[in-house]
Amino acid sequence: MKKAKIYIPTKTAMQSGRGKTKKWILKFETRHGVTNPLMGWESGDDTMGEVILEFSTKNKAIEYAKNNNINYELIEPKKSDFIIKSYADNFLKD
């Protein structure tokens, strides 16, 4: 049976906005690749690692997984406090 993770991707260090953190992702878990003994390249026959599905809500992702008999692991996002600061705050004394 297929296994997948449902999560919201985190913001990368190179981004200042949160535009890509609004969609829920369903990503399939894959088997480990096999190392080619002659060339040393890693190869595999599991193409499910390339399938990434995006959903607008968590419930739609869960519903899709249940309808297609996919075992899933739900990873809830961690809430972080977003503090809006101005440049002038760097020079004000507490």
Give per-residue pLDDT as tens, 43-59. Answer: 777 778 788 999 999 99
| CA-wise closest residue to 70 among 83, 53, 82, 85 | 53
The rounded mean pLDDT for the chain is: 84
- Count of CA atoms in the C-beta half-sphere (13 A) of 36: 8
* β-pair type (24-28, 34-35): unpaired
Q: What angle do CA 65, 30, 48 make, to 5 degrees?
A: 60
The share of the chain scoring above pLDDT 70, in percent, equals 91
**Higher-scoring residue by pLDDT: 37, 28:** 28
Cα–Cα distance measured from residue 18 to residue 21, given in angstroms and rounded to the nearest whole number:
5
Cα–Cα distance measured from residue 52 to residue 12, given in angstroms and rounded to the nearest whole number:
18
pTM over 0.75: no
